[in-house]
Chains A and B, each alone.
Chain A
């Protein structure tokens, strides 16, 4: 029997994931995982909103950082999109978006300290890279005919603003709104490195074992995201943008000496800094230094990152296939669907990082918390998209029901779409996997975090560059596979 490319690709990925599982450390190391989970469960049902002032402050700061960061990212991205045909601009955008917000935050912390600027740039720079790519695609896809109808003699700028931008504007706006939701999650987790957003309060409450406060914070965050459409009105955006900078709070003053030292000393590789002249000996020492870090740290980080990524990718796919019927009217009635929606909203609104943090507290450091966190979050994201798509498929009136419907009518129809979504998430999962190292799992982020803890910024930057390159490589591989098995949807923008 001839099998399709999609089928063979799926089998290959499952095979790889099983091999990875053999090498993965997935033990539960806490003595009594059930006790902590029980306490958390108790916290979930007894949310404590008493510390209202604190909760509101956490949320307002989270929103403010998201607003300023995403807006600045939008401006940067738009400017880059205009010159995106220029090779170096494309490479630059790919590079900055391959580095996770938290890595950017760790870098800027060294430069600007614990100031609002650090948080804003940590969001704005990677988002700028993403916006540049997507905006330029949107502008390219805009209807070309009006541009051809512009009279001879009109300036290029006037032609752009009248005949190109208006058609693209709707899409640019809706994509930016969609990204704002992601920006809220990014902003929330910046708290884990010390910025005054949700993650900071969450970690504090967790450390002190105040589970009722943890659940109150999370519930408010879900409400904030679920009600986005109610409060994020186009007309109000200028008002929010004007107000947001005033809610970022103040930090210590930025020390110009710090900034200079970072660029002229801290990130200069140690052998070059130590050398008196830039001769062959110095370059040789530099090469040695890179080789040393690569073989003793980066290589192991890369292996662990890839192992975890491949397992999490397949687990995300498996969960997505279980999750999507939960919100489809083909499979569940109104009550079931409402529950399904509730579950998916919660799992996809919680950043992977926070989920991983929670599970790590229960089960101790191993790959298990990371796998479960990544699979739950990404499974919910993809499940949600597929579920909405399923309801639009026209089915014949005498179609079977239940599992038969799922296996014979629905799954074969959505499988290509599903794989496309999943492959789009591959790079996202890798980015997250790397960053989860900060929590103590031995992926690349672990080595970056250790280097920063040792105040070896040259090493940290070198490792971050390797992480970015790995990400760019996986992105290219994902695109090649999608092309090979002809998955030509652009689900990212739905």
Chain B
């Protein structure tokens, strides 16, 4: 469903991605690994541009509205499902129907108790999980995540990744934690200096196989 042929991208005149050829089939769970600056975020954004209407994106920065509650921030993920007028009503006063739809999402992510807390008052990990909640609430069949668990502990990370995998047919995640990447995906793509240097099923891979990605 995703197809890139010799794609390149540059940012401020600097080439970030070079000659990327890549295809991802529906149902695949892919991890993008590589050191920071290798081009993972740029690649994710390229892929997102291909299927904006089908894919939910978890940006690296949570990009929450600090003055709105967690509930409203997650509800933003569902804006496209309702008429603007209804959205306005819900902004002024949360509808109980919507609250009950958002609540289970937050429960899975372990932040149900924060549902009416302004996003500006959350810790880093809670903010990140709110951003994940917003993506889950979009209810798309594809999810693109840029380091979605970088700010939470391993225990929470597993819960978050399980939730992501269960809710989406196709998943592509940029990750720096190799253990988690191997455990929760079935294909690993390694990036180095803006190029794909590794593309293998996760099952046969060991952590040491990926070490070369992080060496100069």
Residues of B within 8 A of A167 (CB): 65-67
Give Cα distance in the complex from A169 to B118, angstroms: 14
The answer to whether A159 touches B52, judged by C-beta atoms less than 8 angstroms apart, is no
Selected interface stretch from B20-28, B77-85, B106-114, B208-216 = B77-85
The answer to whether B65 touches A163, judged by C-beta atoms less than 8 angstroms apart, is yes
The answer to whether A150 touches B79, judged by C-beta atoms less than 8 angstroms apart, is yes
A interface footprint on B63-81 (CB within 8 Å = 1, 0 otherwise): 1111110001101111110
Contact partner, B79, options A145, A159, A166, Cβ 8 Å: A159
From 161 to 178 in chain A, residues with beta carbon under 8 angstroms from any chain B beta carbon are 161-163, 166-167, 169-170
A interface footprint on B124-146 (CB within 8 Å = 1, 0 otherwise): 00000001001000101000000
Q: Is B44 an interface residue (CB 8 A)?
A: no
For this complex, into which size category does the number of interface residues on chain B fall?
20 to 34
Give Cα distance in the complex from A170 to B75, angstroms: 21
Q: Is B175 an interface residue (CB 8 A)?
A: no
Q: Is A256 an interface residue (CB 8 A)?
A: no
Give Cα distance in the complex from A163 to B87, angstroms: 12
Residues of A within 8 A of B78 (CB): 151
| Dominant secondary structure at the A interface | helix
The answer to whether B77 touches A161, judged by C-beta atoms less than 8 angstroms apart, is no
Q: Nearest-CB distance from A155 to chain B (Å)? A: 5
Which interface residue of B72, B78, B84 has the most chain A CB atoms within 10 A? B84
Q: Number of A interface residues, CB 8 Å? A: 21
The answer to whether A161 touches B76, judged by C-beta atoms less than 8 angstroms apart, is no
Q: Is A88 an interface residue (CB 8 A)?
A: no
Q: Which chain A residue lies CB-closest to B55?
A: A152
The answer to whether A158 touches B79, judged by C-beta atoms less than 8 angstroms apart, is yes
Give Cα distance in the complex from A155 to B63, angstroms: 19
Q: Nearest-CB distance from A38 to chain B (Å)? A: 55
Q: Is B3 an interface residue (CB 8 A)?
A: no
Q: Nearest-CB distance from A419 to chain B (Å)? A: 33
Contact partner, A151, options B61, B77, B88, Cβ 8 Å: B77
Q: Is A153 an interface residue (CB 8 A)?
A: yes
Q: Is B59 an interface residue (CB 8 A)?
A: yes
Give Cα distance in the complex from A56 to B82, angstroms: 50
Q: A151-B79, A153-B53, A167-B66 are in contact. List 7 more A-B contacts (CB 8 A).
A: A146-B64, A146-B73, A151-B80, A155-B80, A158-B84, A161-B88, A162-B87
Binding site for B on A (CB under 8 A): 143, 145-146, 148-155, 157-159, 161-163, 166-167, 169-170
Can you spell out 7 A-B residue pairs with CB atoms less than 8 angstroms apart?
Answer: A143-B66, A148-B63, A151-B80, A151-B138, A158-B82, A162-B68, A166-B65
